[in-house]
Amino acid sequence: MGVLVILEMDGETDALLTAAAYLQQRLPTSAVLARVIAPTETGVVLCTFWESAQAREEYQAHPEYGAALQQSGLLEAMTNRRSRVYDEAELTP
């Protein structure tokens, strides 16, 4: 079973999309099995399916993660955020 994370970010849509793409390119990981990002009325929604909770935790604990997050501009671009985490999620074709 995997972990589904849904993150809604408010802010300027183009800035959020650019920052999210930068972070994904800067620190790619094979632990993400699927990722969907879409514009919303207030910013973007990012849905990420991780292979496991442990893989997600290890990725976010990586020493370069914090620096990459800061450099991406994502934190500055967000005016508000909401997230939900679903453990024991299943990815089906």
8 Å CB contact between 37 and 45:
yes
| pLDDT tens profile 72-87 | 999 999 999 999 999 9
d(CA 63, CA 60): 8
The DSSP code sequence of 27-47 is S--TTEEEEEEEE-SSEEEEE
What is the SS3 assignment for 9? Answer: strand
Instruction: Give the single-character DSSP code of 71.
Output: H
pTM value is 0.89
CATH for 52:
3.30.70.100
Number of domains in the chain: 1
| pLDDT tens profile 13-22 | 999 999 999 9
Instruction: Identify the band that residue 93 occupies on the pLDDT scale cut at 50, 70 and 90.
Output: confident
Statement: residue 27 has pLDDT above 90: no
d(CA 68, CA 50): 19
Structural domain that includes position 63: 2-89
Statement: residue 63 has pLDDT above 90: no
